[in-house]
Structure formats: structure tokens, C-alpha cells
Amino acid sequence: MNFIENGTVTSPKGFKAAGVVGGVKPSNTTKRDIMMIASDIPCTAAAVFTKNLVKSSAIEVTKKNISNGIAQAVIANSGNANTCNADGIEKAERMCELAAENLGIDKNDVIVASTGVIGQILPIEPFERAVPEIAALMSENGGTDAAEAIMTTDTVKKEAAVSVEIGGKNVTIGAVAKGSGMIHINMGTMLSFVTTDAAISSEMLRAALCEAVEVSYNMVSVDGDTSTNDTLAILANGVAGNEEITTRSADYTAFTQALTALCKMMAKKLAADGEGATKLMVCTVTGAKTVADAKGAAKAVICSSLVKAAIFGSDANWGRVLCALGYSGCDIDVTKVDVAFSSAAGEIYVCKNGAGIDFSEEKAKEILLEKEIVIKVVLNDGDGEAEAYGCDLTYDYVKINGDYRT
């Protein structure tokens, strides 16, 4: 498996995309905010969604449209979440109709998604104007424009692709994502669309997606808020020509491993670009009694506002890590816990067997001043391990969310 340089959601064969300035927000005249992704032929499809009881109308429409395991295109917008609106279903269905009319496909084969402010009516006029333009611009080089069109408070586009040999054929998987705030993913505001030219049944595609999401997107937290719009969808058109994957075979394993690696990369991109973030935080937990305990412990550390604030200040306050482990609800013997901080500047242990040890505060500070910080937790109580992704908590997070709506 190899990551593709400058890979995008259109790296797999048979996919095209485009994004344009539609003006979903009346004040927007420069930023792309409506996009489409489409396959030349119908695809097997699968998706997972937020577990928040308050959901975007787009999710309800997408669930209905892919209930048969088939889809061919995605239409999505930023600037408005289409959530908590009386006419939300109608607007989401109209988005699908416009995409279908202009792409020459069935409206029931369209995945629809929206992201942005909750509770404001989604204007349909920008889509009426923009979708024909998008359809005319669709190309194999349009992935990056599509990535920009779903950004909200994101500061960078999030896209990547991997290649893997399956059944003697070169298979490519591409992805695009957005997300910067309201991210405490429980799939179960983050959107991600994955494309692949692999031949794989919808049942196996969903199985692979669920495996991948549990150790990637579901291990991300920026601020502890689970979005109303979280959607992760995958389309597989089979153009690579491998024998269709219909069972949990060696080919399925190879595909799932490649998909998981891609999703982990995208998860890190999301965490690193958290609202106001200056540092990516990765918490690795090893030696847990179970994988579930490892996951719970890693997420507790990543979600701790006190840990996040300490990382922002480059303060090796390891007691906050122990505190988070203690309230995680996981089966942990706190007298066995070791903690270390590491980065490109080195590694330093700060806690052994649940107690503080002598360490150089100067060296710790040097390590914590880097852009990517690993909090290494060793529980010394089993074989369970997990990794979670987050970011530091800064002054700018409050500034961004203090006036997000207005």
C-alpha cells in the first residue's frame, strides 16, 4: 500500500468532481461552497452517520437513497447545515434532483450533505444557479475544488489517496473531508466522502467502512461536541477490474487495511486543523486489559480540556493525564500507569507506576513546543492498544465560536 502524492477524491479511476462559488451565504462572493463528486457508472455504496438525535435533513435523504447499497454521485454544500428546518427534507431532495438532472442519473442515486450554521433556512436558489455550472466543470482534476467547497472554519483542504494491489490489480482509494469544530465524532460539523475503483459488494464495503471508522474518525475529538451532520460515505465503481470482493477474504483484508490507513490520515488532518488549534495531539495507549479499555482511555485524555490547555501552554502537566484516565470509566490499575511525552524533539517519561519521577522541565518544554505531540500512556496490564487524535485548546477556539453564527 502506498500513499499517492497530491492524491484527491478523484484519484480513483472513473470519478470526477468540481466545486464553485454558489453564494449559499448571501455574503459569500469568493469562496467555493457547492460541490459534486460523480462516478461514470453506478457504484456500490455505504455510509455511517452521526448518532446525535438532532440530525441534518440531508442525512435522512441520504439514508433513504443508499438503502439499496447503490449510489453514483454526491452533492454537498458549506455555509448552511440544513438542520432543524421545517422544509429541510424538501430542500435536500431538491438538491438531489438538481444533481441528477444535470448529471443524467437517477435522483435516488445521489448522496446529499450540508454543513454550516444550524437552524437557518437553506436557500435553494444558489443550487438552481450553480449545479449546471458544476456539472459542466466536472473533471478528474476537480477534487481539490470540491475539497474547498465543503470547508467552513477549516484553514486547509483535507484530501488524500492510497493505492493497493488487490487480486493482481492496482486499486485506488481517495478521500476528501471537512471539519474543524463541533467534532467529537461518534459515527456512527464532519463530512467525508471516499471513492474507490475497487470492485466490492455493498455488504463488504459497509463492513470495511465500519472497521476503518472505529479506529480512525471515531477516535477524533476537537471539542467534545458531536455534530448534527456527521456523514462518512464511500462509493466503489469497480473500474479497477479486480474480482469483486464478496467475502472476508485476503482481498477484503488488503482493501480494509488500505482504507483504514487512509481514514487514519484524514482523521489526523481533521484533528490538526481543529478550530484555533496550534498543535496536533495523539494519545497512544498500550498495555490495556482490552481494546475497549484502550480506546476509552485514549479518548478520555484527548477530550480533557485541562490536558488540551496544558499542551497549548507546553506544560508537562502529566497529573492531568492521570486524572483523565481515572475518570475514563475504563478498567485501569492506576498504580501501573506510565506516561511519556514525545515529539520530533525527543521523548521524556514523566510518570512511572502512577507516580511522578524526576525529569527535566526544560527538555519537556522543548518536546511540547513542537507541532505534533504524542502522549504515550502505558497501562502495563494487558495487550489492548488504541490511538486517539485531538488538538490543543487555545484562545482562538473561544473567539471563533463566540460569534460563529453572526
Whole-number Å distance between alpha carbons of 226 and 185: 6
Beta strands at 169-178 and 158-166: parallel, antiparallel or unpaired = antiparallel
Residue from 172, 189, 231, 284 carrying the catalytic annotation: 189
Q: Are 44 and 195 a contacting pair, CB within 8 Å?
A: no
Whole-number Å distance between alpha carbons of 403 and 130: 28
Beta strands at 372-378 and 280-288: parallel, antiparallel or unpaired = parallel
Please name the residue that has the C-alpha cell 435522512.
60
C-alpha cell at 397: 477556539
Q: What are phi and psi of 229, to 5 degrees?
A: -120, 0
Q: Collect all residues with Cβ–Cβ distance below 8 Å to 186 and sequence separation of at least 6.
A: 50, 51, 52, 218, 226, 230
What Cα–Cα distance (Å) separates residue 293 from each residue in 95, 330, 338? 42, 5, 16
Give the largest Cα separation in the chain, rounded. 68
335 labelled catalytic: no
Residue numbers annotated as active site? 189
